[in-house]
Amino acid sequence: MNPDMLRPFPTLMHQIRYHLSTLVMAVILSYGSKKKSMPKRLVIKDIEKCVGCGVCMYACARRSAKDPEIGIDRSGILTTSLSGFERGATVIFCRACEEPPCVPVCPTGALTPRAGGGVSYKEDLCIACGNCIKACNIGAIFERSDGKPAVCVHCGYCAKFCPHGVLAFEEVPA
């Protein structure tokens, strides 16, 4: 619940202070971005809007311009119902942890922390041990048919196809 709602009436001073602080933040952030562009990542705008269409999964499979695939073997995002479509749907993908638990268990350095959260994945280094899949606390790394991980690397390609404003690709502080 919004703490403001607990107060009977937010005073005018409260409101001015709130808007001022937002303004100051915005100025600081825009100044920062001029210096160096901020990393982007895939974010959820409103999960309640998800219709479970899975268009994002298929976009993920096509993300490589040179080597697109048809199917979901290497999709790093999964659409699923919430125990039946009567309860709605959701998407599961890497939430870009600041300290990704999948990184330290990778024996070959195939997974490394990425600026802005989450991981970079070097497929050629991966020996398909599956440690990362087990280590992910939220079950957001999937197993491909060759045993290697299918993990979201926050490229943002799927967000271009999300038809209902669930996913977006946005700048985040590094």
Specify the residue, 113 or 161, whose C-beta has the smaller distance to another protein.
161
Specify the residue, 89 or 103, whose C-beta has the smaller distance to another protein.
89
Q: Which residues in this chain contact another protein in the complex, by CB under 8 A?
A: 51-55, 57-58, 61-62, 65-74, 78-81, 83-89, 92, 142, 144-145, 161, 163-164
For the bound state, the minimum distance from the C-beta of residue 117 to another protein, rounded and expressed in Å, comes to: 23
For the bound state, the minimum distance from the C-beta of residue 77 to another protein, rounded and expressed in Å, comes to: 10
Residue labelled with tokens 């990362």: 132
Could you tell me the sign of the dihedral formed by the alpha carbons of 75, 77, 78, 79, in that order? Answer: negative
Altogether, the residues listed in the chain come to a count of: 174
For 123, phi and psi rounded to 5 degrees? -60, -35
User: How far is residue 22's CA from residue 61's CA, in Å, rounded to a whole number?
Assistant: 39
For the bound state, the minimum distance from the C-beta of residue 7 to another protein, rounded and expressed in Å, comes to: 29
For the bound state, the minimum distance from the C-beta of residue 26 to another protein, rounded and expressed in Å, comes to: 32
Specify the residue, 69 or 171, whose C-beta has the smaller distance to another protein.
69
Which spans in 108-164 are helix H? 131-135
Specify the residue, 13 or 65, whose C-beta has the smaller distance to another protein.
65
User: How far is residue 151's CA from residue 145's CA, in Å, rounded to a whole number?
Assistant: 13
